Amino acid sequence: MGAFANPKIKTDCLGDIDTPTVEELQKMHWSQYILHACNGKLTSISVEKNWLPRDPVVNPQGVCVALGRDDTVYVILPTMICKSSDGGRTWNSYQCTDTNGAFEILNDGTFIRLFGGDINQPVIVQSSSDEGRTWKEISQIELPKDHSGGVHWVLCCPDNVLVCAVAVADHVFESVDNKLKLLSGKGSLRTYRSIDGGKSWHNPADITDWGSEGGVTLTASGKLLAVVRYQRPILPEDPPDLEKRTGSISAGWPYKHVFLTDSTDQGLTWKNFRQLTTVFGQTRGYPASLNNGIIVVIHDTRYGPGSPGSRAMVSYDDGITWSNEVYYMDYTTFTGSYNESVVLNDGTILTIAASSQAGNSWEAVAGNTDLIAIRWKPVNTIDLQG
């Protein structure tokens, strides 16, 4: 399915029921349940929620989660790392510095961090043997000349193969009538692989032009499913009504949506790039995969319908099709809330949602953002329909 294809499922009114009211979402946010819309009904689903220690500078886009051995969970924040050894029920924290970047944990417990990538500068790869308290550089990833790069995720496959995603860009814009017009270049999301614990990186493979953010999961079938923020300007070959088709609310930018893509060879190649969300501003998603073929993608919703916050979509066939249902995970006054999830050994999804009630500006939410650990599982819609 191409970028211009029309997804079969529309994400503006999943579950065939209107978005819950602000009052319903606010009450849910502070309670031990999430809301599930399916078959025209809105149901409360009991979950466990626990609040993490608050980082003094984190904002709703500052969450990064890594799963270690024995279900140990680490949440990496700007000035601290939070750790849970009981599946997200209780948390302690320790101070750290320079925790920006993408993180993963090798099978032996070694932390791997990738960051940087300014114009004509490499991506830096570091390792830590003391849970992120101290770091040493182990390699670099060279980017194309005159390009910048941002690292968005890194995954450790079962055989310790690392796959990382870097958004590489050389685009130049100009402002015309208060609109950005592309003059030259583009942005591309590509992956690199390492088979030696991050000491060297090879096999660059393009996922798509104009991609960034998101995450990746290893599915039950063994493929990688990557979730991509697809956001781009109007291009010369676009049809004249593309912005109307995509519901754009930003002139000159037809796409600001979540897309998906697959790799069946651990990131050597990517295929089946396809659209997931159909509402402009459902922008950044993050996946989690269960061992029974169920995949969850939780995405932000920035501009409606309904209030901003995180919403979870579900696939029961390894990401091929998506169910007409939705879980409302949190409420925020900021334009969207980011989250990341890991799956524990018993099949529980642990979602770390970053949201704020402090207002709708970067100044208001910096240091006024809650990190909420939500322990949950999708319900079986077959039982609901029966």
Q: Is 244 exposed, middle or buried (0-12, 13-18, 19+ CB in 10 A)?
A: exposed
Indicate whether 369 belongs to any domain: yes
For residue 76, the enclosing domain spans 22-385
The model's pLDDT over 89-132, given as tens digits with 9 standing for 90+, comes to: 999 999 987 778 899 999 999 999 999 888 889 999 999 999 99
Per residue in 301-348, pLDDT (tens digit) is 999 999 999 999 999 999 999 999 999 999 999 988 899 999 999 999
Query: How many separate domains does the chain show?
Result: 1
pLDDT at 139: 98
Residue 76 lies in a domain: yes
pLDDT at 383: 46
Burial 202-212 (b: 16+ CB within 10 A, else e): ebbbebbebbb
State the chain's mean pLDDT as an integer. 92
Could you tell me how many helices (H) and strands (E) the chain has, helices first?
Answer: 4, 28
In a domain, 324, yes or no: yes
pLDDT for position 4: 55
Q: What is the pTM of this model?
A: 0.94
Helices marked H in the chain: 22-29, 242-246, 362-365, 381-385
Q: Which residues of the chain have pLDDT under 70?
A: 1-5, 176-179, 181, 381-386
What per-residue confidence (pLDDT) applies to 274? Answer: 96
d(Cα 280, Cα 305) in Å, to the nearest integer? 10
Whole-number pLDDT of residue 165: 97
Q: How many CA atoms lie within 13 A of 239 on its CB side?
A: 9
Which distant-in-sequence residues (6+ apart) come within 8 Å of 295 by Cβ? 217, 219, 225, 287, 288, 289, 314, 315, 318, 319
Q: What pLDDT is attached to residue 5?
A: 65
> What was the pLDDT predicted at 148?
86
Residue 4 lies in a domain: no
| pLDDT cut 90: percent of the chain above it | 83
Evaluate whether residue 7 is within a structural domain: no
CATH classification of the domain holding 156:
2.120.10.10
Look at residue 5 and tell me if it is in a domain. no
Tell me whether residue 13 is in a domain: no
Query: Is 220 within the bounds of a domain?
Result: yes
Q: Torsion angle, CA of 296/297/302/305, rounded to 10 degrees?
A: -50
